[in-house]
Amino acid sequence: MSKASMDNQRVKNQITEGLFSLLRKKSFSEITVTDIVKEASVARASYYRNFQNKEEIIEAAMDSLRDELMADILYDDDEHIFNQENARAGFEKALTCCLVKKSDLLTLYHNGFGSLIQQTFNRYIMEFAGNMPANSVERYKLYFISGAVTNVLIEWLNEGAKEPPREIAALCVSYFTGGILY
């Protein structure tokens, strides 16, 4: 990566961190571009070179999370994506990744961006396992899994993430494999 690219990424990170820092203090609607560039210690021109509006900052952060979730996925055998061990490993990886971003995710959630978090997980599940025809009724399985995982994730983070990701992932898989209904 060139020095210019590295500098640009550093500025993007500063802007993103600045917005999230402000979101911990006040609501999204109260935050101005002036607030963000001041908090991030960047020039206004740097802001507009990278983002058209503050919503783009959050979208970029969610795209980055999805990219991290997709990194190192090694399932080339589509028939076994949803076997118990692969599902558990996938959930554990997602929970571990989100635990690192706990503060930012909860900040977004508490500022009314829960649907954006849900969309990120929908995209992750669709890219991870969405090899079924778009008109197949089976596609709803992917949304069911995504919704369940997102809700468990948010509650787990809200409760302080006391249990290890492996335990929560195993619990989720047990629910999907017959343990949820008595």
- Residue 179 is encoded by which pair of tokens? 């343990």
Q: pLDDT tens for the chain, 182 residues: list them.
A: 788 788 889 999 999 999 999 999 999 999 999 999 999 999 999 999 999 999 999 999 999 998 898 887 665 555 556 678 888 888 898 999 999 999 999 999 999 999 999 999 888 887 777 666 667 787 788 888 889 989 999 999 999 999 999 999 999 888 877 655 44
pLDDT at position 75 is: 55
Residue 119's pLDDT is what?
93
**What confidence score (pLDDT) does residue 2 get?**
85
Domains in the chain, CATH or no CATH each: 1-52 (1.10.10), 55-179 (1.10.357)
**Burial per residue of 83-115, b for 16 or more beta-carbon CB atoms within 10 angstroms, e otherwise:** eeebbbbbbbbbbeebbebeebbbbbbebebee
